[in-house]
Homo-oligomer: A and B are copies of this chain.
Amino acid sequence: MVEATGLVAVLERLEAGREAALGRLMEFLRIPSISTDPAHRGDVRRAAEWLCGELAGLGFEARVHDTPGHPMVVARSAGGGTRPLLFYGHYDVQPVDPLDLWNRPPFDPAIEEGATGPVIRARGAADDKGQLMTFVEAFRAWKEVHGALPPDLILLFEGEEESGSPSLQPFLRAHADELRASLAMICDTSLYSDGRPAITTQLRGLVGEEVVVRGADRDLHSGSFGGLAANPIMVLAQALGALKDRNGRITLPGFYDGVEDLSDTLRQDWQALGFDAAEFLGRVGLKAPIGEQGRAPLDMVWNQPTAEINGIAGGYAGDGFKTVLPAEARAKVSFRLTGRQDPAAIRAAFRDHVRRFVPADCKVEFHEHGGSMASVMDVSDPAFAMARRALGEEWGREAAYIGAGGSIPVAGDFKLILGMDSMLIGFGRDDDRIHSPNEKYDVESFVKGARSWARILAALR
């Protein structure tokens, strides 16, 4: 651990370099690195090269790696630390449609006055270029103060996060030796609530399935065939409806194997967050959590598994009425997983369950749409407590250990392929409008984000 005077100097250096840092971020934001749009393929590469140049300029051994999709930027500092740390972010951005809802061109960034202070307005400002640059500016200040980069850093910046990361797993497998670290730092999340820093220590996993039930080889008239011919929609409704009992408990055999109750520590931590479920649900026109009676709402959404039907279609659903017995019906179903639930076992149990409802005259077909275990970080690693303290010192409020109901696939991939936990720390806010027109990132998030990493580096190096 460096002496406190070193940290003070780094923080002062960040303060002195604020305008220059904002200028660099603007330059980065001007590159329209939309990864889903083939027309922007060259721009994505340009963003990778810009970033690689920045890192090389700081003294990292940095390289742009080709993949079958968009490039990976990998950089490392010299060895000599106590444990290697991997820093992850992504330099690609979401598309900008509908363009006419933007108040300014999405790739012409500017500082504007927001509701609670100045904001950087541009596509990618919060997701994830602004967050990624909080790392880079912390490294830069460290280098300027100490004359050398923090030792044993590995940086991995991806260009396909907004298009499903198809190259990530193969790349991690192919470069496992050079990328393996003792812990990953991921900067792609938000503050818990305005001004309160957070470390996400658990994420739910996901099993996605599409199921298609087929009956007759054409749509049938329900007068001529009703009573004789199987109805694929009814088969599907019965199979999917039976996934939950009347108490909302999921009925698949073995489904809850591996689900773990919250530790007392996390229960108390989450309790202390003062989550107001009625307010949260009220924003979308709802009132009452539907989970098990007596369970805390955050437990329901962060620590309990789910079974959901995400889409269903079959027969005639337009205006008016057609008395059709449809040839097929289909649904998309997903399970959010927690603890050590096994995606493969749950997928198999789901398929077995559905098959039990399919009569002789119907066929059923399944399509896999992703599967990942939940990520539950080992918070007994002292790095968590150190980072928590560092964040608390920067933001003036204790950092919260929180969960996330969604998946952040990269955290699962790091665990699966590289065997390492992730510390998810980010400085976004609920009103950042990521993926939407007029995305912004608070200047305060950018500035205090870089300062947060400087403090965490000081604690961990």
Closest to A218 in B: B284
User: What residues on B are CB-neighbors of A229 within 8 Å?
Assistant: 281, 284, 286, 290
Question: In the complex, A280 Cα to B240 Cα: how many Å?
Answer: 30
A370 interfacial by beta-carbon distance below 8 Å: yes
The CB with the most chain B CB atoms within 10 A, among A208, A231, A317, is that of A317
| Contact string against B for A residues 209-220, beta-carbon threshold 8 Å, 1 for contact and 0 otherwise | 010000111101
Contact between A244 and B240 (Cβ–Cβ < 8 Å)? no
Chain B CB count within 10 A is highest, among A217, A227, A284, A360, for: A227
Q: Could you say which residues of chain B place their CB within 8 Å of the CB of A145?
A: none
Q: Are B220 and A309 in contact (CB under 8 A)?
A: no
Taking a contact as CB atoms under 8 Å apart, the answer to whether A228 and B297 are in contact is yes
Q: Is the CB of B405 within 8 A of A309?
A: no
A329 at the interface (CB under 8 A from B): yes
Given contacts A223-B404, A237-B309, A312-B315, contact A216 B284 (CB under 8 A): yes
Q: Is A50 an interface residue (CB 8 A)?
A: no
The answer to whether A233 has its CB under 8 Å from any CB of chain B is: yes
Complex-state Cα separation, A281 to B217, whole angstroms: 10
Cβ contact within 8 Å between B237 and A241: yes
B234 touches A308 (CB 8 A): yes
Across the interface, A317 reaches (CB within 8 A) one of B204, B313, B324, B336, namely B313
Determine if A244 and B233 form an interchain contact, defined as CB atoms under 8 angstroms apart. no
Which residues of chain A from 308 to 345 have a CB within 8 Å of any chain B CB? 308-318, 320-326, 329-332, 334, 336
Closest B-chain residue to A233, C-beta based? B309
With contacts A227-B291, A277-B228 taken as known, whether A222 is within 8 angstroms of B286 at the C-beta atoms is no
Cβ B310 vs Cβ A332 within 8 A:
no
Question: Are the C-beta atoms of A336 and B286 separated by less than 8 Å?
Answer: no
Q: With the chains together, A326 CA to B334 CA distance in Å?
A: 13
Q: Is A170 an interface residue (CB 8 A)?
A: no
Note all chain B residues with C-beta closer than 8 A to A331. Answer: 233, 317
CB contact under 8 A between A285 and B228, given known A312-B314, A332-B315: no
Cβ of A59 under 8 Å from chain B: no
CB A355 to nearest CB in B, in angstroms, measures: 14
Q: Considering only CB atoms, which chain B residue lies closest to A320 in the complex?
A: B369
State in angstroms the CA–CA spacing of A236 and B329 once bound together: 15
Q: How distant is the Cα of A287 from the Cα of B223 in the complex, in angstroms?
A: 18
Per the bound structure, the CA–CA distance linking A148 and B227 in Å amounts to 48
Contact with B along A233-252 (1 / 0, CB 8 A): 11011111111100000000
CB-CB < 8 A to A291: which residues of B? Answer: 227-228
Interface membership of A349, Cβ < 8 A: no
CA distance A311 to B234 in the complex (A): 10
A60 CB to nearest chain B CB (Å): 34
Q: Which of A326-378 contact B (CB under 8 A)?
A: 326, 329-332, 334, 336, 359-361, 369-370
The one of B225, B236, B407 in contact with A405, judged by C-beta atoms closer than 8 angstroms, is B225
Known: A227-B306, A234-B244, A310-B322. 14 other contacts (CB 8 A): A216-B285, A217-B284, A218-B285, A223-B404, A227-B405, A228-B277, A230-B290, A308-B323, A310-B316, A310-B325, A312-B317, A317-B332, A320-B369, A321-B369
Instruction: Show 30 A/B contacts (Cβ-Cβ < 8 Å), sorted by A.
Output: A218-B284, A222-B306, A222-B310, A222-B336, A223-B405, A224-B301, A226-B301, A226-B336, A227-B405, A228-B277, A228-B280, A228-B289, A229-B284, A229-B286, A231-B309, A234-B241, A236-B237, A237-B241, A241-B241, A286-B361, A288-B361, A308-B325, A310-B322, A310-B323, A310-B324, A312-B313, A313-B317, A317-B330, A320-B369, A323-B406
